[in-house]
Amino acid sequence: MICLRATLGSSERHKSISWRSIGDDKVVGEHARGFVIVKPTNDAIDYIPLECPVCCRLVKSQLDTFAFQDYDCCNECMLTWAQARREQWLDGWRPSSKMVKEELRKRSRLPTYQVGSE
């Protein structure tokens, strides 16, 4: 699994991209992997990333969106780490990569569907 968190530090994620203006309120840049990123020039605008900055899994649901707004992570990471260590989390604590790998291993063993019988 490769994600931006694993390859670049959080402050470096967008620094390696060369940005150019496309109007008064947007900039565009091409990522090294070939995709294009368009973002507002006003950094104060809130956004939800495509992947959780903690576990690098895609942000998929409205629950992930709500969790990101409060804890800067997906719903699963919020339930696993952020709520259990709320004060530490708000002070900047994050799980180690070893902890994240173990949690992802646990998540991968969970069923993604349920077969019901009537």
Number of domains in the chain: 2
Looking at the predicted structure, is the pLDDT value of residue 82 above 90? yes
The model's pTM is 0.59
CB 37 within 8 A of CB 28: yes
Q: Are residues 1 and 52 in the same domain?
A: no
Tokens (6 digits) for 27: 């900039």
Res 47 pLDDT > 70: yes
What range defines the domain where residue 57 resides? 48-109
Query: Does 59 share its domain with 104?
Result: yes
Distance in angstroms (rounded) separating the CA atoms of residues 54 and 93: 11
Token code pair at residue 12: 């470096």
Alpha-helix runs per DSSP H in 1-118: 4-7, 62-71, 75-77, 86-90, 97-109
